[in-house]
Amino acid sequence: MAFAELLEHVGSLGRFQIFQIISLFLSVVFLTPHNMLENFTAAIPDHRCRVPLLDNATAFTNVTRVLGPDALLRVFIPLDKHQKPERCRRFLHPQWQLLELNMSASNASEADTESCLDGWIYDRSNFTSTIVSEWNMVCDWQFLKPMVQSIFMAGIMIGAIICGPVSDRFGRRLVLSCCYLHLAITGSCSAIVPNFSLYCCLRFLSAFAVAGIMMNTATLLMEWTKTQARTTVMTISALGFSFGQVLLSGVAYAIRDWFILQLTVSVPFFLFFLSSWWLTESARWLIITGKIDRGLHVLKKVAGMNGKKEARETLTIEIVISTMQEELMATKTQHSMVDLFRTPELCKRFCCMLSVWFAFGFTFYGLALDLQRLGSNIFLLQVLFGIIDIPNKMGAFFSMNHLGRRITLAGSLILSGLFILANTMVSQELQTLRVTLAVLGIGFMGSVFTTALIYCSELFPTVLRMTATGGSQMVARLGSILGPLVRLLGQFNPWLPLFIYGGVPLITGLIALLLPETRNLPLPDTIQDVKSRNTRMKGAKQEENTMKATRL
């Protein structure tokens, strides 16, 4: 925890930190569309069976002019219960008798039908092309859409498993730069793939990079910011995801071709890769891992950018070593994820945070990646999710500063679960109320994300911070993999997915109350820091209980 003294010496919130916040904030804004991209690139357009006799010939041109296209379509395509053309069935033989005015619908339903053997005709009024229309992911193949989303989330999960320990070993900035380039290449190649299987592979690889960017961005911000400003800085970073959702809606509204949209959100990461070489490695990580010369060089660079000329000239390697002597002695051994389970206090923190991140990934992506079920205007819904996210995250910011991390996290989870469960009691006809409750439920999940992002970094020491963050992200993506798949349970009971989406955060909110409070406490650097702090907290509680008993 002595690094806080060095950071104050070179400037803990100066020009350097402002430049870093702006650079990483912009990357987060452009990163968010990749998480939600399938809402638009995999949007399901209205469709019907292709009928060669109707769609490939001009024989019915005169008939169409007289009767209209809807009447002629009625001859070949049956109507569903909403009196709209069936999406996945067609008449085995043309039903010309249906053109008679006195022909009843019951007689039409008795006619033999078959599946769409010749493909589908898609409505291209909203989207000129999507991966659904590109590879016919409809009817018997409609499960491919949630599968694509789950594959992407699986890529983030695997990326979190690998990028966390790799960042702890090779550094935050190096891994971040590699992930920028990785996402730029794989994301751009996803737009020009010739088949569905290759598309899935490239989306998986893109997700791998997304995990590395999210984790290293948050960790760099945390490790270069003083204790009092951590909440503010991390809230600003979390707001980048909100603005990213709004950006995605605007870009998707302007670009209706999935491959151009895919390119548009991927190409900017070539620029982020080039600009990342001006970012600075975490001096906290450099010193803790024994790279003291590089850590000193970085601290002097930051002191110069922040206008601390005296600190730049007087700071020496001896001062760094003496200031962080305890931390350097405690970090001579290599650490791994196993260390998170060896210490009871770390084990409790890690297990609680795993449940929190699982609930976030499961509920947020289960609902947010299925906008078409919530309403017809998915562009407006995406904007609403982004806009409601902003006041929710600002509310989480003020709550964390006044009520603390633990109460804010638990309260956000419980409120999100209650709003989602309330939707199970609203009929399908009250569409506005259903959308409002869904937006509020997802909005409080935004508060969960902001709080968990800050809380997770404060709970674990520097030597294990990225490892713990990687494990948390892994579990969050496991939840996001399962979240879209739960929607398939709706075919048994339309309310069952909502019960599950609401119940998981409600239960997790109670588990979050087991975590210790970290408000206004410096970041721990070693496992011993966590043990010492926990011992002091226990001692303070025992003293408080003794005093209460004495008064009685």
pLDDT tens for 436-457 read 888 888 888 888 988 888 888 8
Which pLDDT score, from 0 to 100, does residue 107 have? Answer: 53
Dihedral angle sign, alpha carbons of residues 163, 335, 474, 520:
negative
Q: What is the mean predicted confidence (pLDDT) over 341-354?
A: 87
Q: What are the angstrom distances between the C-alpha of 303 and each of 8, 285, 315, 322?
A: 10, 17, 10, 19
On the question of pLDDT at 73 being above 80, the answer is no
What are the b/e assignments for 186-205, b being 16+ CB within 10 Å? bbbbbbebeebeebbbbbbb
- Separation of alpha carbons 378 and 45, rounded Å: 12
On the question of pLDDT at 536 being above 70, the answer is no
- Sorting pLDDT into bands at 50, 70 and 90, what band is 30? very high
- Separation of alpha carbons 348 and 397, rounded Å: 25
Task: State the distance between the two ends of the chain, measured CA to CA, in whole angstroms.
Answer: 39
Q: Report the percent of the chain where pLDDT is more than 90.
A: 16
Which pLDDT score, from 0 to 100, does residue 264 have? Answer: 93
Q: Report the percent of the chain where pLDDT is more than 70.
A: 86
- Sorting pLDDT into bands at 50, 70 and 90, what band is 358? very high
- Sorting pLDDT into bands at 50, 70 and 90, what band is 44? confident
The helix (H) or strand (E) run that includes residue 49 is strand 47-49
Closest CA to 393 of 356, 321, 444, 359: 444
Q: Say if residues 186 and 209 touch (Cβ distance below 8 Å).
A: yes
On the question of pLDDT at 530 being above 70, the answer is yes
Q: Which range, 71-75, 228-232, 250-254, is most confident?
A: 250-254
- Sorting pLDDT into bands at 50, 70 and 90, what band is 100? low
In the numeric block, the tokens 């650079």 are attached to 23
Instruction: Name the 3-class secondary structure at 121.
Output: strand
DSSP result, 422-447: HGGGS-TT-HHHHHHHHHHHHHHHHH
Long-range contacts of 334-337 (CB under 8 A, 24+ apart): 335/168, 335/463, 335/464, 335/467, 335/527, 336/165, 336/467, 337/165, 337/464, 337/467, 337/471
On the question of pLDDT at 60 being above 70, the answer is no
Q: What is the mean predicted confidence (pLDDT) over 316-322?
A: 80
Q: Say if residues 176 and 217 touch (Cβ distance below 8 Å).
A: yes
Closest CA to 284 of 524, 116, 459, 477: 524
Q: To the nearest 5 percent, what fractions of the chain are helix, strand and coil?
A: 75, 5, 25
DSSP result, 513-528: TTSPP-TTPPPP-SHH
pLDDT tens sequence across 498-520 = 888 889 999 999 999 999 888 88
Least confident of 58-67, 210-219, 387-396: 58-67
What are the b/e assignments for 32-41, b being 16+ CB within 10 Å? bbbbbbbbbb
- Separation of alpha carbons 47 and 73, rounded Å: 13
- Separation of alpha carbons 99 and 24, rounded Å: 63
- Sorting pLDDT into bands at 50, 70 and 90, what band is 68? low
Which pLDDT score, from 0 to 100, does residue 539 have? Answer: 52
Q: What is the DSSP letter of 143?
A: T
- Sorting pLDDT into bands at 50, 70 and 90, what band is 111? low
Which pLDDT score, from 0 to 100, does residue 3 have? Answer: 76
Backbone angles phi and psi of 149, in degrees to 5: -65, -40
Q: Where are the alpha helices (DSSP H) in 224-308?
A: 230-254, 258-266, 268-275, 283-288, 292-305
Q: What is the mean predicted confidence (pLDDT) over 321-346?
A: 72
Which pLDDT score, from 0 to 100, does residue 181 have? Answer: 95
Q: Which residue has the higher pLDDT, 336 or 465?
A: 465
Q: Which range, 87-91, 205-209, 461-465, is most confident?
A: 205-209
Q: Which residue has the higher pLDDT, 50 or 98?
A: 50
**pTM for the predicted model, two decimal places:** 0.74
Q: Say if residues 465 and 457 touch (Cβ distance below 8 Å).
A: yes
Long-range contacts of 341-350 (CB under 8 A, 24+ apart): 343/527, 343/530, 343/531, 345/530, 345/531, 345/534, 346/460, 346/464, 346/527, 346/530, 348/514, 348/515, 349/459, 349/460, 349/515, 349/516, 350/460, 350/468, 350/471
Which pLDDT score, from 0 to 100, does residue 180 have? Answer: 95
Which pLDDT score, from 0 to 100, does residue 442 have? Answer: 82
Q: Which two tokens stand for residue 323?
A: 């200031």
- Give 329's contacts (C-beta < 8 A, 6+ positions apart): none
pLDDT tens sequence across 263-314 = 999 999 999 999 888 888 888 888 887 888 888 888 888 888 888 877 777 7
- Sorting pLDDT into bands at 50, 70 and 90, what band is 532? confident
- Separation of alpha carbons 500 and 484, rounded Å: 12
Q: Say if residues 429 and 440 touch (Cβ distance below 8 Å).
A: no
CATH numbers and ranges of domains, the chain: 3-44+136-531 (1.20.1250.20), 47-122 (no CATH)
On the question of pLDDT at 202 being above 90, the answer is yes
- Enumerate the β-bridge partners of residue 91: 113
Q: What is the mean predicted confidence (pLDDT) over 18-42?
A: 89
pLDDT tens sequence across 76-95 = 778 777 677 888 888 887 77
| pLDDT, averaged across the chain | 81
